[in-house]
């Protein structure tokens, strides 16, 4: 059941090694192969390869498969190499010779390529939507807790006053930068590669503009060699975008774990969102956020993997490209779950009151003390030395009266401006 079968048996060990776990992976792109096959069939009819009756038969057969995929009933059996051979087999089993015509003017290479383009495009958009949901949640939390004091740290040492409003909205605005990269990745994959066949086009008079519109691509990848060279480059671009988002979420998760610890004690979560210890009954472990951190670090490693698989490959198709799908698809499924669980959990955060008069926080306000002296006429260097001397000799008294009024500071979060900045 191979699309390239010439009637010659292949060694079973070689077959097992080359197929790998494509069957399991290809379930994720089955829907998109059907979409591309429908567009391809319509194009073959347009150029006179298929009759109207044949087109209707193929579209009907593909719709049956689409419904099976949607219902979770579609299975790629062991005798098939991949989803593409399975779909063609099912069409042929149902429609006879008409089913065999679906492969006219295309190669398995551009079948895989266009299915991946469609999968990547849709899932990047889904990730973007989930980022926007978490973004909105964080800005909402920033508004709710804008007046809740949070010590700020540099080098993990007490530094300057901050707030939960500043903390929540900082990560919200960080995600805007991640969306810029996601949008760039969407633009990269929103190009139709169908028609590149094995990488050098077809002698059939195919209409690539037609399939581009039919599959709702923004444009097509005109040069057929460039289209095939997109394999690997698409994945490298996407892995940069997902890695950037994963970095933001991993750092946020680290903050969350840190702030939950008794040594900080700034936040907590309901018991049902935490886990316990098998021997320490007092434990409330932030396993959700620790797993987010670990999973996000794995996703950040994806870029290196994509680069090393494809680096310095010559133009044209190479079987190495088969290795791109598994961890790329896994990363998409993982990041979607991470965004969902983060949004679910962070809405239930318990923000505690921080006693700013606690001895360990007294130096949060040294910079404000210095600024007060500068306003009164001293140079910054003189004021710095004076407050520094007070810290050293134990006479320092914090000035907690200062307000930070500039845009984006603790008392002027500019949440409306951050909201408006999110790319439309």
**161: which 2 tokens?**
């006053």
* Residue pair 195/111 in contact by the 8 Å Cβ criterion: no
**32: which 2 tokens?**
């998109």
Largest CA distance in the chain: 94
CA torsion, points 278, 279, 283, 286, in degrees to nearest 10?
-40
SS3 406: coil
**What is the rounded distance in angstroms from the CA atom of residue 228 to the CA atom of residue 194?**
10
**378: which 2 tokens?**
């001293």
* Residue pair 245/81 in contact by the 8 Å Cβ criterion: no
- Nearest to residue 267, comparing CAs of 372, 190, 349, 205? 349
Q: For residue 276, what are the contacts with CB-CB under 8 A and spacing of at least 6?
A: 283, 284, 285
pLDDT at 8: 52
Phi, psi at 197, each rounded to 5°: 55, -125
CB atoms closer than 10 angstroms to residue 94: 15
**60: which 2 tokens?**
């009907």
**170: which 2 tokens?**
């900082």
Distance (Å) of CA 300 to CA 14, 242, 243, 286: 32, 7, 4, 21
**What is the rounded distance in angstroms from the CA atom of residue 114 to the CA atom of residue 193?**
6
pLDDT along the chain (424 residues), means of 10: 51 58 84 97 98 98 97 88 90 96 93 96 98 98 96 94 97 98 98 95 96 98 95 96 98 96 92 69 78 96 95 89 92 97 96 93 94 95 96 93 93 97 95
Q: Are strands 191-192 and 219-220 parallel, antiparallel or unpaired?
A: parallel
Q: For residue 71, what are the contacts with CB-CB under 8 A and spacing of at least 6?
A: none
């Amino acid at each position: 059941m191979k699309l390239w079968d010439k009637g010659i048996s292949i060694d079973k060990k070689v077959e097992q090694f080359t197929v790998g776990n494509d069957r399991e992976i290809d379930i994720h792109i089955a829907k998109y192969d059907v979409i591309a096959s429908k567009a391809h069939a319509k194009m073959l009819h347009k150029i006179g390869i298929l009759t109207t009756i044949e087109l209707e038969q193929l579209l009907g057969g593909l719709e049956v498969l689409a419904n099976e995929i949607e219902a979770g009933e579609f299975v790629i059996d062991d005798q098939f190499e991949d989803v593409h051979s399975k779909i063609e087999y099912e069409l042929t089993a149902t429609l006879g010779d008409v089913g065999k015509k679906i492969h006219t003017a295309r190669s398995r290479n551009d079948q895989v390529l266009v299915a991946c383009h469609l999968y990547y495009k849709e899932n990047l958009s889904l990730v973007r939507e989930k980022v926007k949901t978490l973004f909105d949640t964080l800005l909402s939390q920033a508004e709710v807790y804008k007046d809740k004091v949070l010590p700020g740290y540099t080098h993990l040492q007490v530094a300057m006053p901050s707030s939960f409003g500043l903390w929540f909205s900082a990560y919200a605005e960080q995600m805007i930068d991640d969306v810029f990269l996601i949008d760039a990745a969407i633009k990269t994959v929103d190009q139709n590669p169908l028609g590149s066949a094995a990488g050098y086009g077809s002698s059939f008079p195919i209409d690539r503009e037609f399939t581009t519109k039919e599959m709702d691509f923004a444009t097509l990848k005109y040069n057929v060699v460039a289209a095939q060279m997109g394999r690997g480059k698409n994945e490298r671009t996407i892995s940069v975008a997902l890695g950037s988002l994963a970095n933001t979420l991993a750092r946020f998760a680290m903050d969350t774990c840190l702030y939950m610890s008794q040594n900080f004690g700034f936040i907590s979560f309901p018991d049902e969102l935490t886990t316990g210890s098998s021997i320490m009954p007092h434990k409330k472990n932030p396993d959700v956020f620790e797993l987010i951190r670990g999973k996000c670090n794995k996703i950040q490693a994806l870029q290196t993997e994509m680069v090393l698989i494809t680096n310095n490959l010559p133009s044209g198709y190479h079987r190495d490209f088969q290795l791109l799908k598994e961890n790329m698809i896994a990363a998409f499924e993982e990041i979607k779950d991470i965004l969902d669980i983060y949004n679910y959990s962070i809405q239930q955060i318990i923000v505690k009151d921080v006693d700013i008069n606690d001895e360990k926080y007294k130096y949060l306000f040294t910079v404000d003390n210095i600024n007060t002296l500068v306003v009164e006429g001293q140079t910054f260097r003189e004021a710095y030395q004076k407050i520094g001397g007070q810290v050293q000799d134990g006479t320092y008294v914090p000035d907690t009266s200062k307000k930070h009024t500039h845009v984006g500071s603790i008392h002027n979060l500019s949440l409306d401006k951050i909201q408006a900045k999110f790319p439309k």
